[in-house]
Amino acid sequence: MNSIHPSAIVADGAVLGQNVEIGPWCHVGPDVVLGDGVCLVSHAVVDGHTRLGEGVTLYPFASVGLPPQDLKYRGEPTRCEIGARTRIREHCTVHRGTATGSGITRVGAECLLMAVVHIAHDCVLGDGVIIANNVVMGGHVTIEDGAVIGGSAALHQFVRIGRGAMVGGVSGVEADVIPFGMVMGNRARLAGLNIVGLRRRGLDSAAIRRLRAAFRLLFQHEGVFAARVGETRMRYGDDPIVAEILTFIEQPSKRGLIRREPRLVEADDAA
């Protein structure tokens, strides 16, 4: 049974699943679909052609599916999708896609968007992504599964953040971050591997040592980078995470790749 506060506005045409809770002063537009168990705590706005998956929670003053901040946008029926059990905290904004982009903004399942996060038009977030407070991003950003974005970071449009990567707080990210990489600084530079994230995913010490050796070959040795990529694939390409990083590097990119600076030292090396 659904629970809708008398002060909430649910437009004709909106589709509500079972056990939906819509709190005080919320607004749900006519083209919105709310899955089973969705909870809009209060003062939340969901509009446009937007779908919230099962168990999604929107906290006060969050807005999802509103028009993008793109001067080329002319009201086209673009979309926004939020995956199951994702939590969107206070004052977050998730804008729908654009006709000149992919046409959809998508946030995966079981993500956490902390307070005052902005997800721009045509961005795609994978599952289990954590974005800390005050993070902003331009359009068309891709963040793969399990990545963590530190507080007040800024992501340039078209940037790709690889699976399991970590972006340090207050970092300005203007190029791509390899899977399981860790970047920090303004502008962000590759500081090493996200060792904590790798251990949380169950990698043992031998696997981490192998990955670190591949990382050093890629980013610390001399010579042409393309040649180092080929050598890394030859020596370590059988390792699935190394192969994932190499595939990420070789994919087309609009922003290039964040590289390592010699002065930056991995946390593990410094310990």
Active-site residue among 118, 121, 140, 156? 121
CA distance 242 to 215: 8
- In the residue annotation, 47 being an active-site residue is answered as no
Active-site residue among 35, 53, 55, 122? 122
β-pair partners for 206:
none
For 4, 31, 40, 210, 241, the CA distances from 27, given in Å and listed in that order, are 11, 12, 9, 52, 44
CA distance 38 to 16: 9
CA distance 256 to 191: 17
β-pair partners for 162:
none
Helix axes 240-250, 205-219, angle to 10 degrees: 30
Q: Give the list of residues 6+ apart from residue 235 with CB closer than 8 angstroms, or none.
A: 214, 217
Q: Taking the CA atoms of the chain, what radius of gyration do you get in angstroms?
A: 20
Q: For 146, how many CA atoms within 13 A lie in the half-sphere containing its CB?
A: 15
Token pair of 255 as six digits: 């922003």
Q: In this structure, which amino acid lies at residue 42?
A: S
- In the residue annotation, 139 being an active-site residue is answered as yes
Roughly how many angstroms between the first and final C-alpha of the chain, as a whole number? 55
- In the residue annotation, 122 being an active-site residue is answered as yes
Q: Are 155 and 136 in contact (CB under 8 A)?
A: yes
Active-site residue among 35, 139, 146, 192? 139
CA distance 215 to 265: 12
* Residues involved in catalysis: 121-122, 139
